[in-house]
Structure 1
Amino acid sequence: MATSLRVHRGGEGGPLLLLLHGLGATGDVWAGWSQLLDHSWPGRWIAPDLPGHGGSPPLPEYTFDSLAEALTPLLAPADRPVVLGHSLGGVVALALAARTPVTAVVGLGVKVAWTEQELDRTAALAKRPVTWFGSRDEAVDRHLRVSGLGGLVTADDPAATRGVREEDGRWRLALDPGAFGVGAPDMAGLLARANTEVRLARGEQDPMNTDDQLKQYGVPVITLPGLGHNAHVQSPAECLPLLGTHLTGDVPSR
């Protein structure tokens, strides 16, 4: 699986920073971080498309553990990466930390409270067949809505165009609908298994979670003023300090 995952890379040497996108998105959402990391991250970084997203192949079944398992071959035993994951990626980061040594996890925009109605809806979405569109523009528009990137990136941005694919003159989302079936995370269990430094963060205007919901887990919680669910796309510079002491001293001003 590791050799078939589509992966963005930058920097060189160590330590390793692993960047994980959210449901429906691709590794292209981290493009705005590249120049910042050139100045502020002391080693290399990788940003894969999660299985069933973008240019990475699907899985037979989607769970947080199966997604984490698909990522482990990307890591050498000595890497001990710092992992920054957004939304779904934040939960996968915690599952990954239970499988392999990780220096630290930052979960940004993780949805921790789910209603039965929300879970029923996502389960239904996971069982739907692929939706086909007559044009690339229609497919890109749907991708931007599903990934929450509407208004944050343009239709010709790689974060938009890599989220769709053409087959036999028709267009579809690159996202495998089955990925909606991951369900709600067992945050208490994941945190207990992670056995590493964990921070949770959210944009102040993120409707997916609240400060109180995140603070109940007893780990540091950081709220980013004025930002929403896709804070890492809105303002990479304001999110960069989430990596804390793992950064070098050369952090660009916001």
Structure 2
Amino acid sequence: MLGDMTELEVRRGGTRGPAVLLLHGLGATGRVWDGMAGALGDRAWVAPDLPGHGRSAPLPEYTFAAVAEAVAPLVDPAGTVVLGHSFGGVVALHLAGRPGVRAVVGLGIKVVWTADELARAAALAARAPAEFGTREEAVARHLRVAGLDGLVDPADPALDGAVVRTGENWRTALDPRAFGVGDPQMAALLAAAPVPVVLARGEHDPMVTADQLAALVPAPVDLPGLGHNAHVEVPEALLPLLG
């Protein structure tokens, strides 16, 4: 148990520091980093399923700070670079002041939210999980929600933790209440970060523009030819960002 709230599913590998803490996006699981783990070679890495995702237990309520508190014990005090994708990138910024965190890399973070978008997210958080008659249908929903359609084989056994059986039916493992985290307040997070922060996006990411990142940091990184899940498409492209 971490604290008294959340039991996390955690995968680890490598031994060479500084360690890399890999935080996935909303709807995904830690297995989305499998390619990145391979690209890191002997470098130490830690990839949890975030609370309410995959095989990790849910939180009583979801805020970015609460999710960060749940994964904070995974930071190696001897030195950790936190790499977070989208939702996980905001969580990474909440860890920026933790002892041992040397730098934060945020990939594909949606930094601008309209009132309508926040209202739609809140509505999703209030819905009961959709149930499906087959595992295949639940896997298909998981891939759509996580933006992994066409990037991950639906037959990949790594998806086993992304869906759960509920009696005769299946559903995604995601706790939909996680959609209710609200506006990430990126400007304030960046202003408070005491360590170097890199913000990056795939060139074709529809969730965030280069201009939106440039309004927040002086040197955002555009990854040529890649989309929102750049870490899945070409994991090696992220290695230069990790120092």
TM-score (norm 1): 0.90
Q: Please, which moves more after superposition, 228-237 or 12-21?
A: 12-21
Q: Distance in 1 between matches of 2:107 and 2:217?
A: 16
Q: Aligned pair 1:47/2:47, yes or no?
A: yes
**Could you tell me how far 1:74 is from its partner in structure 2?**
2.1
Name the amino acid aligned to 1:28.
Answer: R
Tell me, yes or no, if the aligned pair for 2:199 and 2:217 is still in contact at 8 Å. Answer: no
1:114 aligned residue? 113
Taking the TM superposition and a 5 Å limit, the aligned residue runs for 1:1-254 are: 1-2=1-2, 4-38=7-41, 41=43, 44-76=44-76, 78-243=77-242, 246=243
Q: Distance in 2 between matches of 1:48 and 1:185?
A: 21
Name the amino acid aligned to 2:65.
Answer: D
Q: Distance in 2 between matches of 1:6 and 1:152?
A: 23
Name the amino acid aligned to 1:49.
Answer: D
Q: Deviations over 1:62-82 (max 9, x none)?
A: 111000000112234x23310
Please list every run of 5 or more consecutive structure 1 residues that lacks an aligned counterpart in the other structure: 247-254
Tell me, yes or no, if the aligned pair for 2:21 and 2:74 is still in contact at 8 Å. Answer: no
Tell me, yes or no, if the aligned pair for 2:21 and 2:75 is still in contact at 8 Å. Answer: no
Q: Deviations over 1:1-35 (max 9, x none)?
A: 43820011001253211000000000001101222
Going from structure 1 to structure 2, the CA distance change for 1:159 and 1:239 (only over 3 Å counts) comes to farther
Name the amino acid aligned to 1:21.
Answer: H
Structure 1 SS opposite 2:125? helix
**Could you tell me how far 1:159 is from its partner in structure 2?**
4.6
Q: Deviations over 1:173-216 (max 9, x none)?
A: 10000000011111111112221000000000000010110011
Tell me, yes or no, if the aligned pair for 1:62 and 1:182 is still in contact at 8 Å. Answer: yes
1:251 aligned residue? none
**Could you tell me how far 1:124 is from its partner in structure 2?**
0.2
Q: Distance in 2 between matches of 1:141 and 1:61?
A: 26
Structure 2 SS opposite 1:155? coil
What percent identity do the matched residue pairs reach? 60
Q: How many residues align?
A: 240
